[in-house]
Chains A and B, each alone.
Chain A
């Protein structure tokens, strides 16, 4: 029997330790203990103005950038300690988590933060004060992007994602509660502790709390999820946690959800121009497929390929090799497929309906079929679907389709209007699914402008 891991809370600048409540992590069944949640301390009453209200955006960005500098794993003891603890709760391999931590400072990079503000707000001054405007009839007024009170429900599949959420919360000057996931009840507090070491009384720090409760715990959620306390609940993903939150929505309390998504690839016959292009396309497709061992929403799961049988099989040969290599954000051997998916693959193989490359050993699998498989490919599994033309693949795109990596790149422009109409949210060059142009929309929205409380002052004479 190992002792339970300590998962302290962080409430408005103060670290709260304690081992009052025992929990078990969902994915790996590790025991951890947290302090009890003092809801009175956690909820900042509306009679109190948000701590960041009168802090200039430029000062907030300076503070975040400095925090980013201090998040470098090699000199940050809090993250180092987290790395040890998270292995017990998170299915991602330690090396991948380490790489994610190394990437974390990027989320607080000045250019990124500036571009997020610019792409979300036509007038960034509205974050700092009341911006005056005059309409076509000469009526005067003013608007302000007033700080919201938010709960961020963090996802467990990307341990560094909390840094991005902290940045978002700070940029809109929100009063923030981060609800940590059971697969990572540590990282958010480590990041906030790092910030508190710069200045524990800084308004950014005083605007941040990170706590864990088990999703669905009505003793917390029935009390907390009320418009009197919270304006927006931001959720990174879907699942039971979201279905559960929906019951608390109503006038004055809104859900901003980054919905569960599937990503795909579209590969034109140009891929078969030469052995070299086949190898390049296989590598690019493998790179997109394996992001976070395919736990990420932007990880490709289906590849629609133009080509004849022999050509496509040649690509599959190369692809399965490339799925099995170590990468910054993927391991050579991922957790194996679930028994139920394995069964479905075995049945279809035994009846000769699909052709399979690779084994059920977590190194990666390629399934070639004439229509998309009906299960959700995961754990480094790519379902290659032969299509006469990429135009025929558009019908498999729907509102759950997030990223579409395309090869050759020029064909993005031919496809993108129809892909958008079908519900897709992003096209990119094959092999770059995990890279983004700074300030791009996420899930077809600019979320920060939805977070803020748009307050008007109509000054009509």
Chain B
């Protein structure tokens, strides 16, 4: 008999993938989670430690998973000092503790930079997906070749499901945001181009060189030196100059992107980006005298992520859609996170649908207790067990506050869904908390 994990993987891209009754799925999902636990517990040090300390060795019900979940911060739990001092041995030992595969036999002799180390890790089967490090130390998640291929496929299939587009229809692909160099993100992009864009040359925002996490190292290092009190004023001034240059480069890229979009206006388009950048480009298009009427009908748009702190006018969404001539049903919006392979597409009733190979675990604010939504909608801290992940433990507690329901969605499909209103707990106003206890981080300004 095929494994439960395999049975769930077979649902990727299946027609009824987002329409399975939760009760029917749960036994298979739990079996798959149990399979993952058995085969990963020997490799992932943190999982073994956690399982031993809570005394859980098998998964029989969703609550068994809760004490075994990793906080999303586990993937940035290395000491920043190791990174700054280029202690690749310790970084390697850390990565192995949160990854399925070992980091044995890694040759770090020629490794000078973070980018070198990440490249070298690929020789031992670790393909890292890193956050940018612009707002703190970067998260680093190890993926296998399988995770990468699957992430790419899952994303393309979800896009097809949500928008009704057909594989093979020719569209010019417009990447309207900075491109980060990482195998997983590359593969996701290539899969979309492959599905729709054989005929037209894809366009990519920026100067052709994808941004690497290593290029953020100067910022990470300076932040540490500021906290340690060892940064010299000259270093800060140099950094400010570089940061200014980067902002100017972004601006220049946005101006170029406006012309690129206008040039492509007669072609069927599939554009991707985040609302903040898309809004800026839409504004530029309007300023040059173009509007939705100049663009081909049936354009499609994929928008990732929230506003990430950007302040836009209330009608930003309509403004972008009208300018690019994209109808609501051709807008693909999804909820996802680097910590899982799945992406949850937004349906026409305005809800994100959870993939069948993912166990939705609504938790209390502290992330310790499983909540029972009953037959209603509840507010919860989002946590998931993604049974598809090979390179890491599939159970993760996010930093997101969501609303979730296990009832049939108004769009007609079954399965758990998440409401549109998603907030990061860290972005919620801190209220009137005031305390005399705190650390040096409060004193570090300018390179947040």
- A residues contacting B by CB (< 8 A) are 26-27, 153-158, 181-182, 214-216, 235-242, 258-262, 294-297, 299, 338-340, 343-344, 346-353, 371, 373-374, 376, 378, 395, 398-400, 422-423
Give chain B nearest CB distance to A191 CB in angstroms. Answer: 19
The CB with the most chain B CB atoms within 10 A, among A27, A258, A346, is that of A346
User: Is B79's beta carbon under 8 Å from chain A?
Assistant: yes
Q: How far is the CA of A106 from the CA of B78 in the complex (A)?
A: 45
Given contacts A340-B71, A349-B49, A374-B80, contact A262 B94 (CB under 8 A): no
Instruction: Tell me the complex Cα distance, A374–B435, Å.
Output: 20
Query: Per-position contact with A for B61-95: 1 when CB-CB < 8 Å, else 0?
Result: 00000000011011001111100000000100110
CB distance from B80 to the nearest CB of A (A): 6
**What are 29 inter-chain pairs, A to B, with CB distance below 8 A?**
A153-B434, A155-B435, A236-B434, A237-B435, A237-B437, A238-B436, A238-B442, A239-B438, A240-B432, A241-B432, A242-B434, A259-B436, A260-B438, A261-B436, A299-B437, A338-B366, A339-B366, A340-B73, A343-B73, A346-B46, A347-B45, A347-B46, A350-B45, A352-B93, A353-B93, A371-B79, A374-B81, A376-B439, A399-B443
The reply to whether A262 and B430 form a contact with Cβ atoms under 8 Å apart is no
User: Is A399 a contact partner of B434 (Cβ separation < 8 A)?
Assistant: no
How many whole Å from B227's CB to the nearest CB in chain A? 8
Give the residues in chain B near A153, CB-CB below 8 Å: 434
Is the beta-carbon distance between B71 and A398 smaller than 8 angstroms? no
State whether the Cβ of B33 lies closer than 8 Å to any Cβ in chain A.
Answer: no
- Whole-angstrom distance between the alpha carbons of A210 and B310 in the complex? 37
Known contacts A343-B74, A347-B98, A348-B77: A297-B438 contact under CB 8 Å: yes
The answer to whether A344 and B77 touch across the interface, beta carbons within 8 angstroms, is: yes
Residues from chain B with Cβ under 8 Å of A299 in the complex: 437
Within 8 A of A (CB), among B205-252: 227-229
Given A241-B430, A340-B71, A353-B93, A155 and B436 contact (CB-CB distance below 8 Å): yes
How many Å lie between the Cα of A422 and that of B77 in the bound state?
A: 28
For the complex, is B97 an interface residue (Cβ under 8 Å from A)? yes
Asked whether, in the complex, the Cβ of A237 is within 8 Å of the Cβ of B74, the reply is: no
Could you list 19 further interchain pairs (A-B, Cβ under 8 angstroms) beyond the known A153-B434, A344-B73?
A26-B431, A26-B432, A237-B436, A238-B442, A239-B435, A241-B430, A241-B432, A260-B439, A261-B437, A297-B437, A297-B438, A339-B367, A343-B70, A346-B50, A346-B53, A347-B46, A371-B81, A400-B438, A400-B443
Q: Which residue of B lies closest to A215 (CB)?
A: B432
Q: Does B48 contact A (CB under 8 A)?
A: yes
**A395 vs B432: C-alpha distance in the bound complex, in angstroms?**
33
The answer to whether B433 has its CB under 8 Å from any CB of chain A is yes
Q: Which residues of A contact B434 (CB under 8 A)?
A: 153-156, 181, 215, 235-239, 241-242
Nearest to B47 among chain A residues (CB) is: A350
Question: How far is the CB of A394 from the nearest CB of chain B, in Å?
Answer: 11
A347-B94, A371-B79 known; A240-B433 Cβ under 8 A: yes
A422 to B443 alpha-carbon distance, docked (Å): 14
Shortest beta-carbon distance from B228 to chain A in Å: 7
Known contacts A374-B81, A398-B229: A214-B90 contact under CB 8 Å: no
- For the complex of A and B, list the 5 residue pairs with the smallest distance between their C-beta atoms, beginning with the closest: A260-B438, A215-B432, A240-B430, A297-B436, A350-B45
B397 close to chain A: CB less than 8 A: yes
Find chain A residues with CB under 8 A from B90 CB: 353
In the assembled complex, the Cα of A71 lies from the Cα of B10 at a distance in Å of: 71
Query: Could you tell me the distance in whole angstroms from the C-beta of A235 to the nearest C-beta in chain B?
Result: 7
CB of A214 within 8 A of CB of B74, answer no
- Asked if A343 contacts B437 (CB within 8 A), the reply is no
Q: B53 to chain A: which residues have CB within 8 Å?
A: 346
The residue in B77, B79, B90, B433 that gathers the most chain A C-beta atoms within 10 A of its C-beta is B433
Instruction: Return B276 CB to nearest CB of chain A, in Å.
Output: 23
- Whether the Cβ atoms of A157 and B81 lie closer than 8 Å is no
When distances are taken between beta carbons in the complex, the residues of chain A under 8 Å from B229 are: 398-399, 422-423
User: Which residues of chain B (17-71) have a CB below 8 Å from chain A?
Assistant: 45-46, 48-50, 53, 70-71
Given A261-B438, A262-B438: A351 touches B94 (CB 8 Å cut-off): yes
* Chain B residues near A399 (CB-CB < 8 A): 229, 440, 443
Task: Say which residue of A240, A242, A347, A423 sits within 8 Å of B97 (CB atoms).
Answer: A347
Give every chain B residue within 8 A of A262 (Cβ-Cβ). 437-440
| Residue B359 CB within 8 A of the other chain | no
B73:A239 contact, CB within 8 angstroms = no
B368 interface residue per 8 A CB criterion: yes
A158–B436 Cα distance when bound, in Å, is: 9
Flag whether B314 is at the interface (Cβ < 8 A). Answer: no
| B residues in contact (CB < 8 Å) with A | 45-46, 48-50, 53, 70-71, 73-74, 77-81, 90, 93-94, 96-98, 227-229, 366-368, 397, 429-440, 442-443
Q: Which residues of A contact B432 (CB under 8 A)?
A: 26, 181-182, 214-216, 240-241
Bound Cα distance A239, B71 (Å)? 23
Q: In the docked arrangement, what's the CA distance between A156 and B431, Å?
A: 12
Residues of chain B contacted by A350 (CB below 8 angstroms): 45-46, 48-49, 97
- Chain A residues contacting B73 (CB-CB under 8 Å) are 340, 343-344
Query: How far is A349 from B52 in the complex, measured between Cα atoms in Å?
Result: 13
Contacts of A353 in B (CB 8 A): 90, 93-94
Q: Given the complex, which residues of B lie within 8 Å of A294, measured CB to CB?
A: 437
| Nearest-Cβ distance from residue A298 to partner chain B, whole angstroms | 8
Q: How far is the CA of A445 from the CA of B246 in the complex (A)?
A: 41
Q: Is the beta-carbon distance between B74 and A240 smaller than 8 angstroms?
A: no
Partner of B440, one of A340, A351, A373, A398: A398
Q: Give every chain B residue within 8 A of A349 (Cβ-Cβ).
A: 49
Interface hub of B50, B98, B432 (most chain A Cβ within 10 A): B432
Smallest CB separation, B431 vs chain A (Å): 4
Shortest Cβ distance from B49 into A: residue:
A350
> Would A374 and B79 be within 8 Å (CB), given that A297-B437, A422-B229 are in contact?
yes
Residues from chain B with a CB closer than 8 A to the CB of A340 are 71, 73
A374–B48 Cα distance when bound, in Å, is 24
- Contact partner, A239, options B70, B397, B430, Cβ 8 Å: B430
A39 CB to nearest B CB, Å = 18
Which of chain B's residues have a CB closer than 8 A to the CB of A423? 229
> Nearest Cβ distance between residue B381 and chain A, in whole angstroms?
10
- What chain A residues lie within 8 Å of B97 (beta carbons)? 347, 350-351
A236 and B436 contact, Cβ closer than 8 Å, known pairs A339-B366, A350-B97: yes
> In angstroms, how far is the closest chain A Cβ from the Cβ of B371?
15
User: Is there contact, CB below 8 Å, between B435 and A238?
Assistant: yes
User: Is A339 a contact of B430 with CB atoms below 8 Å?
Assistant: no
Q: Which of B45, B429, B435 interacts with A260 by CB under 8 Å?
A: B435
Q: Are B50 and A156 in contact (CB-based, < 8 A)?
A: no
Residues of chain A lying within 8 A (CB to CB) of residue B80: 374
Indicate whether A157 sits within 8 Å of B93 (C-beta atoms), given known contacts A240-B429, A340-B71: no
| Cα distance, A88 to B330, chains bound together (Å) | 50
Q: How far is the CA of A373 from the CA of B80 in the complex (A)?
A: 10
Nearest CB in chain A to that of B80: its residue: A374
Interchain CB contact under 8 A, A351 and B438: no
Chain B proximity of A295: nearest CB distance (Å): 6
Min CB distance A213 to B, Å, is 8
Bound-complex Cα distance A214 to B78 (A): 37
Q: Are B431's CB and A240's CB within 8 A?
A: yes
List, in ascending order, chain B residues with CB within 8 A of A378's CB.
437
Contacts of B440 in A (CB 8 A): 262, 398-400
Question: Which chain B residues border A339 with CB–CB below 8 Å?
Answer: 71, 366-368, 397
When the two chains form their complex, are residues B96 and A351 in contact, meaning their CB atoms are under 8 A apart? yes
State the Cβ distance, B366 to closest chain A Cβ, in Å.
Answer: 7
Residues of B close to A182: CB separation below 8 A: 431-432
User: Which residues of chain B come closer than 8 Å to A236, judged between CB atoms?
Assistant: 434, 436
Find chain A residues with CB under 8 A from B443 CB. 259, 398-400
Contact A260-B437, Cβ < 8 Å, known A343-B71, A346-B50, A371-B79: yes
Docked CA distance A26–B50 (Å): 30
Contacts of B93 in A (CB 8 A): 351-353
Q: How far is the CB of B15 from chain A (nearest CB, A)?
A: 39
Most buried by B among A27, A241, A347, A374: A347
